[in-house]
Amino acid sequence: MIQLHDLQFEPFISEAEIEEAIAKVASQLNADYKDENPVFLGVLNGAFMFASDVIKRFEGDCEVSFVKLGSYEGTSTTGAVKTLLGLNQQLKERRVIIIEDIVDTGNTLEEINKILKKEGVADYQVATLFFKPEAYKKEFNIKYAGLEIPNKFIVGYGLDYDGLGRNLTKVYKRKE
């Protein structure tokens, strides 16, 4: 059990399970993007650990960029996604792989979709470490999902609760 701010969290996903999920996603990306030069677009802050680990396992040439979007306050989404740090790279006619820590409602993906359409990308796919199918409300294809999980609030491995917990190597769920 751990305490972050006013909430308690209990162990949920082990380091070994996370490693296995990363290896699965990286293997799929290596097969699908062999002999290509995709742009990995990491979504900050949460995806920094997953992006690093997946990109280290990518066997071909690639480029890396980041955007920072925010929609959470405390343990729930506000529903409004704000761009906090925009693109600094030309993506016209490029193949892009969006690297997300977690896909729940899909609101962040909707905002990224608008950005990428405006940029004129050739195509894009979504790679996420965690996917919450129960919470997902959008139509975007989630091609690469490390782990499908129930709609619980989690922290660790890049995910936080009001700034705390991103550095944890395991994932914890909120104690109910």
Cite the active site residues.
104
Q: Checking DSSP bridges between strand 123-131 and strand 95-103, what pairing results, if any?
A: parallel
The residues near 64 (Cβ < 8 Å, ≥ 6 apart) are 39, 40, 42, 51, 55
Helix (H, G, I), strand (E, B) or coil at 105: coil
Q: Positive or negative CA dihedral for 148, 150, 68, 107? A: positive
**Helix, strand, coil % over all residues of the chain, rounded to 5:** 25, 40, 35
Which residues are 82's β-sheet partners? 70
Residue type, 66: F
Region of 157 on the Ramachandran plot (φ > 0 left; ψ -120 to 50 alpha; else beta): left
